[in-house]
Amino acid sequence: MDSNSADDTFVDNDIVEIMMSRRSIRRYTNESVEDSLIKKILTAAIWAPSAHNRQPWRFVVVTDSVVKRRLVSEMGKRLRKDLEADQIDQAIIETDVARSFKRITSAPVLVLISMSKIDMDIYQDLQRQENETIMAIQSTAMAGQNLMLAAHSFGIGTCWLCAPLFCPGVVKEVLNLPQDWEPQGLITMGFPAESKRKNRQSLDSRALFIREKST
Ligand SMILES: Cc1cc2nc3c(=O)[nH]c(=O)nc-3n(C[C@H](O)[C@H](O)[C@H](O)COP(=O)(O)O)c2cc1C
């Protein structure tokens, strides 16, 4: 093993094994995922911790291929505009947009993960208000991680895509979301048609230990 990479050889228990073997899956088989399984996975998601236990996560599960295509094509228009503004070569833009379209529409299930601040505290102090928003985002991300780990434990692959963050208005309109739902990510889901390996940087490069001094 590369000395700069994290140790991926130890497996202590089933949960750790699930955490360490989950990979982002971007290609899926055509097999659909039963509604009951999707609900089990979402149920695991909503048991994530959340700030003040306010549970700010919101989900939209899309399996309808017409809606999927409409969503991705509207997001694609926005992606094309952003890349054009960055003056990216037109051919590269078209490849990017087409890849994104194929990747997302070929996933049997899409889960839009959104955040609502409707139940969060309200402060006059801007910094406290900002922190409250961050806590809602952090809580929602935790639900996303629960979702991906639970899916993996049932043999279902997932990949978190950040695209909705760049075009929340488009996503809200296509999916007709309640006003307070703020799109955070799109999780593709399905039976994996690929297997992946990934590395992590070494633990030492990411963690500090402040230990009791030995006497
Ligand atoms: C917040 C977030 C945003 C991500 N956005 C994308 C994305 O837009 N497209 C994509 O292909 N993968 C995306 N990913 C997946 C990461 O690329 C992936 O988690 C990372 O490369 C580590 O690989 P692994 O998940 O297989 O361990 C995202 C992951 C996170 C947590």
Q: How many CA atoms lie within 13 A of 116 on its CB side?
A: 16
Does the pLDDT value for residue 2 go beyond 60?
Answer: no
| Token pair 């006003």 in the structure block, residue | 179
Q: Say if ligand 1 is within 6 A of residue 107 CB.
A: no
Does the pLDDT value for residue 1 go beyond 80?
Answer: no
Give me the sheet containing 57-62, strands edge to edge. Answer: 57-62, 109-116, 181-190, 157-161
Please state whether 176 falls in left (phi above 0), alpha (psi between -120 and 50) or beta: left
- Find the 160 Cα to ligand 1 centroid distance in Å: 6
CA 204/CA 40 separation, integer angstroms:
36
Domain boundaries, the chain: 22-63+107-192
Q: How many CA atoms lie within 13 A of 177 on its CB side?
A: 26
Q: Say if ligand 1 is within 6 A of residue 135 CB.
A: no
Q: Say if ligand 1 is within 6 A of residue 72 CB.
A: no
Kindly state which CATH superfamily the domain 22-63+107-192 is placed in: NADH Oxidase (3.40.109.10)
Does the pLDDT value for residue 74 go beyond 60?
Answer: yes
Note the pLDDT tens digit of each residue in 112-166. 999 999 999 999 999 999 999 999 999 999 999 999 999 999 999 999 999 999 9
- Residue to mutate, 162, 167, 186, 187, ligand 1, most ligand atoms under 8 Å from C-beta: 162
Q: Say if ligand 1 is within 6 A of residue 23 CB.
A: yes
Does the pLDDT value for residue 4 go beyond 70?
Answer: no
